[in-house]
Amino acid sequence: MIGWSIGLRFTRTILSHALKALPRILLSIIALMMAGGACAGLLVWLGGLDPLTAFLATSPGGADSVAIIANSAKVDLPFVMAMQTTRLILVLIASPRLARLVAGRMGFKEKAVS
């Protein structure tokens, strides 16, 4: 029911806006994946970790999914979870500031919350 409710609210304007944003979104996804791969490569090269541990430690996405995969593979599970937890904390700290920066550059003004 929730899916139908959301889906029926789509209009041509919303779909056209989504299609215009799609290339930037795809480029952002690719850039995020490449950044994670580069960090994993550095961990393998400089840190001497095995590639799967490095990949799981630096992969973006849900820490719960990474934990399930890491638990079923032969990797350094404490290191993977420590990196994922650190990533989550850094995202929680940096996201509000980054959102304000992007919103300011796009011309949106911050509203006071009372």
Read off the amino acid at residue 84: Q
Instruction: Report the C-alpha gap between 3 and 64 in whole angstroms.
Output: 24
The ranges assigned to domains in the chain are 11-105
Predicted local distance difference test score (pLDDT) of residue 6 = 87
Q: What is the pLDDT of residue 1?
A: 87
- Helix, coil or strand: residue 110: coil
Residue 74 sits at φ, ψ, to 5 deg, of -90, 85
**pLDDT recorded at residue 57:** 93
Is the separation of the CB atoms in 81 and 63 below 8 Å? yes
User: For the chain, how far is it from start to end, CA to CA, in angstroms?
Assistant: 34
Distance CA 78, CA 20 (A): 42
> Which residues of the chain are under the pLDDT cut of 50?
none
pLDDT at 20: 92
From CA 57, how far away is CA 63, in angstroms rounded? Answer: 9
